[in-house]
């Protein structure tokens, strides 16, 4: 745990993202930033924030229009910033950047979502295979692209797990390929989790008690709970509800990014790595998690548990 304020220290840039896209972000004091490494509950948390901000079971527009991923190289950064500036509602946007790769604002609220890395990999594997190959090619071949490209998803999951465990995308990471280190990302946010404007949520806790976790988030965001509509808000962000409304709730749905948009919401469960990861791969993951995160964070990522 650090007693100092977070500082921008590294530029994360690849065909997929660029941390410099935050340089000209016009912050508002009531902004909400959702942060995960990837496949840890980002879209789920965007749905929750939508329900709380709009006090409605469905957002007034597709989430693509309301909650962009600013760091992503999906379009000109000026267009995304203009999109954000034009929003009149309380804004909730997402980032997949570690805390050392993003400008930190003391006046806004961050929600970090954690998840067991093995579950993250399994969800990422489906996500990667669901991406339309031409979209990957478009990012890799974009004019002026910097940093490493994103490879097409391989067929064999075993070697892909090994690479994810032992290869980094950036020089300062040793795992997480072909994206970035889930473990190091978590550590950068965990070290500052004591700050009053960082709220830690775990995927497993959302699964176990969605109502209770949403109440905690609503309280953190200073949004009063209207008990008269509350059950409809909770129901609207269950897995089945979000999957049935994938064209509006899934990121990239309006851009035609997915082979099957509804399959973005694939399973919404944990432990799918059982019988897929070998005993050796599980042991390797546990070793790396302990080395990168330390015992306390490693245990929390695996099992969850509310952090007050």
Three-state DSSP state, 221: coil
C-alpha to C-alpha distance for 22 and 76, rounded to whole angstroms: 12
Three-state DSSP state, 51: helix
In CATH, the number for domain 19-303 is: 3.40.50.300
Domain boundaries, the chain: 19-303
Rounded to 10 deg, the angle between the 157-166 and 279-303 helix axes is 60
- The pLDDT value given to residue 266: 47
Determine contact, residues 89/53, Cβ cutoff 8 Å. yes
C-alpha to C-alpha distance for 185 and 36, rounded to whole angstroms: 8
Mean pLDDT per block of 10 residues along the chain (308 residues) reads: 78 92 96 94 93 95 90 90 96 96 95 95 84 79 80 88 95 93 97 97 95 98 98 93 72 55 52 87 96 97 92
C-alpha to C-alpha distance for 256 and 264, rounded to whole angstroms: 12
Give the side-chain half-sphere CA count within 13 A for 262: 5
Closest to 36 in 3D by CA, of 125, 102, 129: 102
- The pLDDT value given to residue 243: 76
- The pLDDT value given to residue 265: 45
C-alpha to C-alpha distance for 33 and 94, rounded to whole angstroms: 5
The Cα angle at residue 192 between residues 21 and 81, in degrees rounded to 5: 20
C-alpha to C-alpha distance for 178 and 176, rounded to whole angstroms: 6
- The pLDDT value given to residue 247: 65
Q: What is the pTM of this model?
A: 0.90
- The pLDDT value given to residue 168: 95
């Amino acid at each position: 745990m650090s007693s100092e304020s977070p500082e921008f220290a590294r530029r994360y840039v690849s065909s997929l993202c660029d941390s410099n896209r935050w340089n000209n972000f016009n912050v508002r004091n009531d902004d909400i930033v959702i942060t995960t490494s990837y496949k840890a509950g980002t879209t789920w948390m965007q749905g929750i924030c939508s329900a709380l901000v709009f006090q409605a079971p469905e957002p007034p527009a597709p989430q693509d229009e309301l909650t962009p991923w600013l760091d992503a190289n999906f379009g000109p950064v000026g267009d995304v910033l203009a999109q954000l500036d034009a929003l009149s509602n309380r804004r909730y946007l997402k980032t997949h950047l570690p805390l050392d790769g993003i400008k930190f604002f003391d006046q806004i609220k961050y929600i970090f979502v954690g998840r067991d890395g093995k579950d993250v990999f399994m969800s990422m594997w489906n996500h990667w295979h669901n991406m339309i190959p031409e979209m990957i090619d478009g990012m890799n071949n974009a004019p002026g692209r910097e940093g490493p490209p994103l490879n097409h998803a391989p067929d064999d999951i075993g070697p892909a797990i090994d690479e994810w465990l032992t290869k980094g995308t950036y020089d300062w990471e040793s795992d997480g390929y072909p994206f970035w280190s889930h473990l190091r990302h978590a550590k950068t946010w965990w070290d500052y989790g004591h700050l009053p404007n960082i709220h830690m949520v775990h995927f497993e806790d959302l699964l176990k008690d969605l109502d209770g976790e949403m109440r905690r988030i609503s309280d953190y965001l200073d949004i009063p709970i209207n008990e008269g509509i509350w059950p409809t808000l909770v129901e609207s962000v269950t897995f089945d509800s979000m999957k049935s409304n994938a064209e509006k709730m899934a990121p990239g749905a309006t851009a035609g990014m997915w082979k099957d948009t509804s399959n973005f919401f694939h399973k919404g469960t944990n432990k799918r790595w059982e019988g897929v990861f070998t005993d050796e791969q599980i042991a390797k993951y546990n070793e790396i998690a302990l080395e990168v995160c330390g015992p306390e964070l490693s245990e929390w990522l695996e099992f969850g548990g509310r952090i007050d």
